[in-house]
Structure 1
């Protein structure tokens, strides 16, 4: 599979109009699977020149199929690797290691998510690279850090379990539920986003004369466990302040009611009622206006305390009409509500709202036929230097013959 045209970030061919916010930033991407590739795809979307450094076998997610896209690539791989150039560097081979070193020394950013100590074993750790490339921003992603947790396996499912996310996800024990993982590798995605934040902060510090270390890069470290704990937000805050760990509540919210899904006549509706005013309007639309004055439900703390009785009252009314009818009425009354969509329906919704949620690139299959590939766009809108999607996910070693100028 090959892309059309020249590489996206070839400085000799990229004119001013096409330059993204990170134009001129070169990224040597040693990462694989999800957290690191997600981070570097965002950097590529924003204009960085990302060189994906792969083993001869390629990123393992290339084999994670079905499903595959129109040119036969794993959709898992393709979903986080657009905008990059691929070269093969076998780190076990002298020539491959030398090429990898050349790329690391020419880069503004090096990113890796090997087991801690692996890059050092090959002479590609932060200290070794920074000794010859002092401006490098070196980002290491690990599951549990590089000290006591260095030998623990950093898998998203494992981190969701030991990091507490599964303890608050799923139906309660009382209803026969069990701890449940989120339906996507969310911890990897969160970690990738944190990596992007750390990398850009370090680049800002390096390139600002007023910073403490102008011209010098630094070692950015991001962990899956740390990213998850940070993302637990109010649930972690309540645990720290009260000493009481929250449990699983299905779709309900521990501090707000009604704030969950409810059954209408044909399907579920999500209601996100966060104020007393919204609740009063909800009751009016449902034809049970007297409920808003009931002392059990008059304020949010009272509604939380009596959520079981409240749910029964609301669902009794909601079952009288279809979800679509209720949502239309709720929207007209400025009550936050929506149906439970499939992913396809969610993408369609984004399109109808003009959010430009789908990115397209053109790829050439092995038989020479051209195909349009679709993936989810970067959700960052920049007015002057918007994200661009010009290069499809690369084949293994597709850009092996390229030469990289020393920086």
Structure 2
């Protein structure tokens, strides 16, 4: 029996080797999650083509690369050459996990599909992040907004008088990556009992549908079609963002009758005594008038005054922080939620990135490390596999690296 300790020293996946052949967001984010649990992640790129397709691109693309490819080693291989494929297969023999998010059919054409690689390493956990599971849509081109659109998420995002909107970050990509990492850890656990690996598929579409569960139940049970609500909510009113005198936006969302009454008292209002605003159903029916009443008072306060006043009486409230304000958030600083890296693509600078948000009394979170320059660790990784310097140079001269 293992003796437990409250000192967080161990990393759950510290003896796990992950090979990633990913690009853009979903595959790289999946392997990053494993790296943050202690895995040794080796990212494979094709050096001659410039590597991951978001390297050296737009500022947003460069930022995406830097964010999701930290805590990894980078190796350059051309899998269409004999030498590159041989080195890849040597890597797979030592690996526990392989992660890919290539287009449907591409791994099989390269000779690195699941059936190919399990013949090389029967214990390998092979994770494919795709647009769709096998079915009518499986060969369709898939991007994050495709999954958001098909899942219904886009239909309830934004405002009623506007066209459907995508979420402000790549929700479908990141959700599929989370499910991929979840499936990988489950497969590794199962391997302890069976001794064999397996193929795990994490699809963008079905993963995003899983986020829509309560809306699907609502639409069917009540024979109605949900509409976008902005920052609002069907269960509560008021529940929205309001503009303050210093041109900030603040979310205010009392979620009980008692909180509603405390909100009114904090703002010096008697709205809770009026018949039209007495119950939550009353407030929902008269929501436009209610919002006008609240905006009239809130618009005379600064954001800090509003937030402090409502915090004091226990009403849910938060300023809408712009993205550039988040790294300076005092709570994130106090909880050591962010770490520093040096960027590998785009502007060369030090930036803050989110650490693994989990806390545990039993395992330690690794500090963020810089994303790799293209092929930066090729020689070191190949040496670990037993390649001599002469063999590495031969591979490089023949265009395999």
* TM-score range for the pair, normalised by the shorter chain length: 0.7 to 0.9
RMSD: 2.4
Structure 1 segments unaligned to the other structure (5+ residues)? 1-15, 69-73
SS in 1 for 2:19: strand
Question: Match for residue 136 of structure 2?
Answer: 148
> Quick one: distance in 2 between partners of 1:104 and 1:279?
59
What number of residue pairs does the alignment pair up? 373
Runs (4+) of structure 1 moved beyond 6 Å? none
Question: Match for residue 299 of structure 2?
Answer: 319
Q: CA deviation at 1:17?
A: 9.0
Q: 1:232 to 1:17 in 2, by over 3 A?
A: closer
Q: How does 1:6-405 map to 2 (within 5 A)?
A: 20-56=11-47, 57=49, 58-66=51-59, 74-173=62-161, 177-207=162-192, 209=193, 214-266=194-246, 267-289=248-270, 291-351=271-331, 354-361=334-341, 372-389=350-367, 391-401=369-379, 402-403=381-382, 404-405=384-385
SS in 2 for 1:153: coil
> Quick one: distance in 2 between partners of 1:347 and 1:193?
23
Question: Match for residue 3 of structure 2?
Answer: none
Whether the 8 Å contact between 1:269 and 1:323 is mirrored in structure 2 is yes
Whether the 8 Å contact between 2:16 and 2:96 is mirrored in structure 1 is yes
1:353-395 CA distance string (max 9 Å, x none):
6122221246899xxxx97553222212233322112531011
1:40-62 CA distance string (max 9 Å, x none):
11211211010101112211111
Whether the 8 Å contact between 1:142 and 1:224 is mirrored in structure 2 is yes
Structure 2 segments unaligned to the other structure (5+ residues)? 1-6, 387-401
1:281-307 CA distance string (max 9 Å, x none):
001111113x22333323323322322
Whether the 8 Å contact between 1:257 and 1:300 is mirrored in structure 2 is yes
Q: CA deviation at 1:280?
A: 0.6
> Quick one: distance in 1 between partners of 2:343 and 2:294?
51
Whether the 8 Å contact between 2:332 and 2:338 is mirrored in structure 1 is no
Q: Is 132-141 or 297-306 further displaced after alignment? A: 297-306
SS in 2 for 1:335: coil
Give the number of the structure whose residues are more often helix, by fraction. Answer: 2
Q: CA deviation at 1:233?
A: 3.7
TM-score, structure 2 length as denominator?
Answer: 0.86
> Quick one: distance in 1 between partners of 2:28 and 2:223?
37
> Quick one: distance in 2 between partners of 1:134 and 1:301?
59
Whether the 8 Å contact between 2:89 and 2:120 is mirrored in structure 1 is no
> Quick one: distance in 2 between partners of 1:371 and 1:169?
34
Q: CA deviation at 1:191?
A: 1.3
